[in-house]
Amino acid sequence: MRKKSYVPYLFILPAFIIHFCIVSLPSLSTLAMSLFDWNGIGNATFIGLDNFTEIFTEDTVVKIAIINNLKWLVIFITVPIIIGFIVSIIVSRIKKGQMFYRVVYFIPYVISAAVAGKIFTAYMNPYYGINLFLDKAGLTSLADTLWLGNPKIALYSVAFVDNWHWWGFVMVLFLGALQQVDPVLYEAARVDGANRFQELLHVSIPGIKATIAFVLIMTVMWSFLTFDYVYVMTNGGPANSTEILATWIYKNAFTKYRAGYANALCVVQSGICLIFYFIQRYISKKGGMEDEE
């Protein structure tokens, strides 16, 4: 009988310990503290499921935050993915100077969200931002728009900035995947009389379906975990119109000093992410984007 070796497990032990201490243990702690009334400093009082009862029956902001997260998901599962895919196709066909375009499109992704958010907040200032330019251009009606002050469009203004930051990263992922597609497949398609659109439909998309599935999964998860641009640009305002789960969790934990309630919100947020994750996995498998296990 072959003796079992424990040496491989020793190599992954440090990573496992780090993951357990930084990810697993805090996650379990969050689940436990969601059952307590705690201000984050003093003694915690066990209250059972009262926090969850308040979330689903009394907290009106939670409903607004979830709806805003769903709007965010719809925006980011369509606009940046479509733009990133189209631009990646165009850039992949460029023979000279391709690296220049890849760098230019990727630069917004490496800029800090705090920096980019403050810059665009200044751009959208109604007194000295883009409105001043629109007014001088004669677009007076558009110049009166309160990009971050109008509850009806504030969320979309923030989403525009985050999209500006995000789509270049998606483009680079798609571009890298396209470059792994065997050129022989394109040559065979041309021999069979396929045009550019048919090449795209029957060669490019099937060749990068795993990357598309990955981008969709990460977009779903990150749409419910987004925080930075909303916090920097509007802090959930005006009148909670841009409030999302992450900012509401932050406010409850560090402004209202309701750490136990914030932990319960985190559990709800994680549950929603898991639901959408499994839905997306199911759709991807049914669509042939992921191999059945």
The secondary structure of the chain as a DSSP string is -PPPP-HHHHHHHHHHHHHIIIIIHHHHHHHHHTTEE--SSS--EE-TTHHHHHHHHT-HHHHHHHHHHHHHHHHHTTHHHHHHHHHHHHHHT--SSHHHHHHHHHHHHHS-HHHHHHHHHHHT-TTTSHHHHHHHTT-HHHHT--TTT-TTTHHHHHHHHHHHHHHHHHHHHHHHHHTTS-HHHHHHHHHTT--HHHHIIIIIHHHTHHHHHHHHHHHHHHHHH--HHHHHHTTT-STTTT--HHHHHHHHHHTS--HHHHHHHHHHHHHHHHHHHHHHHHHHHHTTSS---
Q: Which of 96-105, 130-139, 254-263 has the highest mean pLDDT?
A: 254-263
Q: Quote the Cα angle for 138-139-140, to 5°.
A: 95
Residue the block writes with tokens 């201490």: 21
Residue 29 forms part of a structural domain: no
Q: For position 166, what pLDDT does the model report?
A: 93
Q: Which residue has the higher pLDDT, 283 or 171?
A: 171
Position 287 scores a pLDDT of 62
Q: Categorize the per-residue pLDDT at 290 as very low, low, confident or very high, splitting at 50, 70 and 90.
A: low
Is residue 217 assigned to a domain? yes
Number of domains in the chain: 1
How large a percentage of the chain has pLDDT more than 90? 54
**Is 114 inside a domain boundary?**
yes
- Among 7-11, 63-67, 265-269, where is mean pLDDT lowest? 7-11
The position carrying tokens 């907040």 is: 121
Residue 128 lies in a domain: yes
Convert the pLDDT of each residue in 188-238 to its tens digit: 888 888 888 888 888 888 888 889 888 988 888 888 889 999 999 999 999
Query: What is the per-residue pLDDT across 115-133, written as a single tens digit (0 to 9) for each?
Result: 999 999 999 988 888 988 8
> Crossing angle of helices 25-33/259-286, nearest 10°?
120
CATH number at residue 243: 1.10.3720.10
Range(s) of the domain holding residue 256: 56-286
Enter the pTM of the model.
0.88
Among the listed residues 152, 100, 146, 99, the one whose alpha carbon sits nearest the alpha carbon of residue 126: 146
Domain assignment present for 141 = yes
User: Would you tell me how many other CB atoms lie within 10 Å of the CB of residue 12?
Assistant: 10
Is the residue at 49 inside a domain? no
Return the amino acid letter for 177: A
Q: What digits encode the pLDDT tens for the residues 138-190?
A: 888 888 889 999 999 999 999 999 999 999 999 999 998 998 888 888 888 88
Cα separation of 253 and 41, whole Å?
11
Residue from 220, 209, 223 nearest 85 by CA: 209
pLDDT of residue 6: 80
| Pick from 172, 175, 161, 279: nearest CA to 226 | 161
Q: Please check the confidence at residue 293 and state whether its pLDDT lies above 80.
A: no
Q: Does 46 have pLDDT greater than 90?
A: yes
Rounded to an integer, the average pLDDT of 249-255 is: 94
Q: Which residue has the higher pLDDT, 195 or 240?
A: 240
For residue 130, tell me if it sits in a domain.
yes
Q: pLDDT-derived band of residue 3, with 50, 70 and 90 as boundaries?
A: low
Residue 289 has pLDDT above 70, yes or no: no
Residue 168 lies in a domain: yes
- Cis bond before residue 238 (omega within 30° of 0): yes
